[in-house]
Chains A and B, each alone.
Chain A
Amino acid sequence: KAGVTQTPRYLIKTRGQQVTLSCSPISGHRSVSWYQQTPGQGLQFLFEYFSETQRNKGNFPGRFSGRQFSNSRSEMNVSTLELGDSALYLCASREGVDGFTQYFGPGTRLTVL
């Protein structure tokens, strides 16, 4: 099976703009989680979607949002970008909420100028 894919791989935005990132899970996987990775904070959980519903959410401001489509593909959106939003955004998929193993995509490197 093809692995988790993410687009775009790199993005450069300026403060105040918004951005949308996309994640396609492994075929058959219905759960998608998003993580933010920064040198200072490490890997932090943003939110998880399953069957088009947000299952749980990490401790991030409301500027961070997401959604999931009927084919399990997921998008996350960040509005009113801040310099501190510069990070690697990773998504991970697993078969379902009862599944243990999460497989990561290559990530989207977001730089906010």
Chain B
Amino acid sequence: GENVEQHPSTLSVQEGDSAVIKCTYSDSASNYFPWYKQELGKRPQLIIDIRSNVGEKKDQRIAVTLNKTAKHFSLHITETQPEDSAVYFCADLNQGGSQGNLIFGKGTKLSVKP
């Protein structure tokens, strides 16, 4: 079945530095790639997503890039702040396929040190 691998599992950066989290997927039919942020004790919150017909998307300090040929996508956070500390999950979806559910990576715990 579909598999999403996420790296690294933990990431520690200094405030103001950039953070990059990478995911690879196996289903070439996947066409939707969201990123969720989950703070301790809270629900996963969608922070950015990208569809397979787009190579890059930005929203202020957050960007996502997609390489369909290599089957990987990445989350980039610039000018990190302490409030960016959380667990980040990537996921993919084969929208329109027989399995329309999100497949998640294992998560990356990001710590931003002031």
Q: Could you tell me which A residues sit within 8 Å of B by CB distance?
A: 33, 35, 42-45, 48, 55-56, 58, 90, 92, 97-98, 100-107
Given contacts A42-B104, A42-B107, A56-B98, contact A101 B43 (CB under 8 A): no
**12 pairs across A/B with beta carbons < 8 Å?**
A35-B102, A42-B89, A43-B107, A48-B101, A56-B98, A100-B34, A100-B49, A100-B93, A100-B95, A104-B43, A104-B44, A104-B45
State whether B101 touches A100 (Cβ < 8 A): no
**A76 smallest CB distance to B (angstroms):** 14
Q: Does B86 lie at the interface of the complex (its beta carbon under 8 Å from any beta carbon of A)?
A: no
- Which size bracket describes the interface of B in this complex? 20 to 34
State whether A97 touches B44 (Cβ < 8 A): no
Q: Which single member of A42, A58, A90, A103 contacts B101 (CB below 8 Å)?
A: A58
Q: How far is the CA of A110 from the CA of B66 in the complex (A)?
A: 36
State whether A48 touches B104 (Cβ < 8 A): no
Which residues of B are found within 8 Å of A92, using beta-carbon distances?
A: 102
Q: How far is the CA of A92 from the CA of B36 in the complex (A)?
A: 12
